[in-house]
Structure 1
Amino acid sequence: MSRSDRSTDRPAGATAEFVVRPSESPSMLSVLAVATTKRCRHDQLRPLHEVVDPEAVDLLVRNTDGTCVEFEYEGYHVAIDSEQVRLNEPNSPG
């Protein structure tokens, strides 16, 4: 997993950004991003397929120019496009 410059001292409510590599699944990266942010293992989180269809998310962001898929997962607002996964932490505006 590749992360953009991300400080562990980030204030509550800040946005975390994770860069999607061409070989990575954007939907799987969203799970890993949440796990990293929550400081837990990814297998301790709710299965992503209970929230969204991971294959559909990957197809949309990989094959549709400018598409951003957004959803709530494990208390975070997740926004995925072909280049990055962004997490807005609880109580974060926008």
Structure 2
Amino acid sequence: MVSPMPDKTVKMDKGSINPKLDKLISSLDNFDNINKKMGTIVGSQEISGEAADALSESLLVLVSYGEQYSLVIRNLKEVIVDYCRSVEEIDKTAANAVSKGV
């Protein structure tokens, strides 16, 4: 006798996901806001001297990278929210990994 194949998916518990999703989205928004503030600060400061110019240039590069990451994070945030709202079932292996914090 062949045993039936076990169910490979589990229902997503949307009630328990929402608070965690809100916390993740809040963290991503905070990261994005920090990058916006850095851009404003660096963009408005006028400093002179070689050391200051080098520092300014480094900060501008850092802000540029931060802006790129913020764009990625905003897109990722939308994908995560859409996924969590639309998916009813999740693969058991993925569910186990998520529940363990992996």
Give the alignment's TM-score, normalised by structure 2.
Answer: 0.21
Structure having the higher strand fraction is 1
Structure having the higher helix fraction is 2
Q: Which has the higher contact order (CA 8 A, sep 6+)?
A: 2
Larger radius of gyration: 2
